[in-house]
Amino acid sequence: MEEEIFLKCKGDRELIGKLDAYDNHLNMILSNVRETYKYSVKENDEETVKKMERNLDMVFVRGDSIILVSSAMK
């Protein structure tokens, strides 16, 4: 399990990281994770979507929040 994977999750979250463990419910533990998420900001009656990115050492992802699992593109 040395391969990096890409996860698309509910709530416009995307994760790329090394798969360390998973179970039959598709719960996953990832390490060296880059998380990207989007959120809305309302200013002066105008709504804009902003994109944030952060790096995390380790993440537990619940299987019921996962929409897509793929090999990470290099």
Interval 30-70: pLDDT, tens: 999 999 998 888 888 888 888 999 999 999 999 999 999 99
Q: What CATH number is attached to the domain comprising 43?
A: 2.30.30.100
Question: Cα(5)–Cα(69) distance, rounded to whole angstroms?
Answer: 7
Whole-model pTM? 0.82
- Looking at residue 1, what is its pLDDT? 61
Our count of domains for the chain comes to 1
The answer on pLDDT for 2 being more than 80 is: no
Buried b (16+ CB within 10 A) or exposed e, 1-10: eeebbebebe
44 with 35: CB under 8 angstroms? no
Interval 8-30: pLDDT, tens: 999 899 999 999 999 999 999 99
Containing structural domain, residue 28: 4-71
